[in-house]
Structure 1
Amino acid sequence: MGTLASSLVETLRASRGRRGPLLGDARTTAWRVVNAEADGVPDVTADVFGDVYVISLYRDFTPDEEETLLDAAVAAWAPRSLYLKRRPREARVLANVAKESLAPEAPARGEAVESFTALENGLTFLIRPAQGLSVGLYLDMRDTRAWLLSQARGLTVLNLFSYTCAFGVVAMAGGAKRALNLDASRRVLEWGEENARLNGQTVDRYDYVAGDVFDWLKRLAKKGESFDIVISDPPSFSTTRSGRFSAARDYARLAEAAARVVSPGGQLVACCNHAGLAARRFEAMVLEGVSQAGRQGKSLGSLAPSALDFPPPPGQEPALKVHRVQVR
């Protein structure tokens, strides 16, 4: 192995070593092992789910660069399986036409694993590493889910853009009276139902609703339904029945619609993973939306991804922003 490759192996080993407390936590087996330039590997992230690793590339790597990285990862971590996701800037556009090149179904190294379970704070989640660019659980939300677990007892929770319903699972595990999950995709909602069952929870199909989030927020408001905690974690960009959504441009509109279904004194937990949107600007957009709904909003502070496995790049704030607002 050449000097450059040997250096990369050591960098990857050291990055894993810096996650010390997570390495010995039997209740959490899913976490980020490399967070790009913050861990000395620009344009690369790696997530670990037990003994399966998922590496994501954020620029176009040459075949030789990919091979060097994969070989170094095997040498550093000895994974059971290693899956590769290619996420160039245009991945959002190409996702439907070049899925196999962006997210190969076959592992880059090791054995093929169709599905398995991982733990987060003692809860079980189904991971499908070959399913596409997203494998079932967004790990930067771990600390926000832990917050919800501690807050949910006796409350009602609305989980917008629910994906595989991790927030819904956590809410019910924390003793929530109800968790309603909304997402455009029936497929991921069914995945969410599997997650609920894995944690011994009863599944009510009325709480797994497929459709346009903006449409459903209007319906819920019209029916006078409200929730103690509303969690809004939209994709940075999406196309809905009501038009194209860009978090950096349209979050105030989303916050307005969500605020209309927050119970008086309840909380809107607004999330955004758009790196180009500054935290202060995001907070202002959320409060602006609450005001446009005719409600008063009081900032309760922000939650952030764990600095242990999601250290921000030097001199930058984390891409993920989670802002809590009490709505009156």
Structure 2
Amino acid sequence: MMWLSWRQFRVQALFAACALAVIAVYLGYLGSEIRDAYDVYRANCESLADCAQAKSQFRSAYQNTLLFLATGLALIPALIGTFWGAPLIARELENGTHRMVWNQSVTRPRWLIGKVLLVGLAAVLVTGAAAALLTWAARPFDEVVKEQFDAFVFGARNIAPIGYAAVAFTFGTVVGLLLRRTLPAMAVTLVVFLAFQFFFPNVVRPSLMSPDKARLSMTVEAINQAQNLGSLGGGSVIGGVKIPDAPDAWIAETSPLRTADGKTLSSAKFNGCLDSPPKSGAGGTFGDTAVCLSKLNLHVDVLYHPSSRYWAFQWLETAIYLVLSGVLTAFGVWRIRRRVS
């Protein structure tokens, strides 16, 4: 059974091995380049002012490249589910070749489990190897920038991609088993899993552990350290704030700007500082706007996770995906034993 499954899978395995070799060569080169740039960054970091400029240069040099690679790695599980998982059973059922195997001594559950184990193991190995290579290449950058909880970065580092690959593959397999048509199964797998990859980090991940709470005073310095003021939907909001005692923490939720009595700052006052603040000659990211807002005695309430919880989130999320993958496999075994003819 394993020999037959390997014969059917060998072309995809060869393609994956070649792609992984190309990835390894490129990330090996990129990792060496990042380490050389990191040495230059450390050498130029002689004072706080020099460090800020050197960090900005180091960050801008590689941020877009690493973000693009993280996005690409996030697509690997989706593609595995689409091109390896969905056709695995659907093609057999669509062409009727499953009947030849079932008329031999091989049982339906054994046939399904054998296929899932062989191709699923390959999916996990390919994705895990690509994630390990990217994690190694980006390590100096991650140590400086410290954005390990960013949705794309978190899903492209260390062990989390292994869980993504497992659940994407088993989900595609089950979809193919249910739909029994290859192309519809591939389309459904791709769309649903991409939506799931957006849903889980933004909705489920923040609630996997109870967050800590903090109240941050919106001083000039605090406002200038934020990433943005306002939003497309309007409102007195500020994004990308930092906690002074835990600058590497993951901010899971930030309240609107609030006055000393706890009420949300009115849009009129916020827009007044944003659009036409009094001239003060202040520098910084938001300049006069930061000075104007700081005079209103504002604060925000945040929910956050300390950086020390990073590995707990990695293990917990990976475990959830692996358990979900096991549940999908068990459902597939039940389905093929009871319903598929």
TM-score normalised by the shorter chain: which range applies? under 0.3
Which structure has greater strand proportion? Answer: 1
Higher relative contact order (CA 8 A, sep 6+): 2
Q: TM-score under structure 2 normalisation?
A: 0.23
Larger Rg: 2
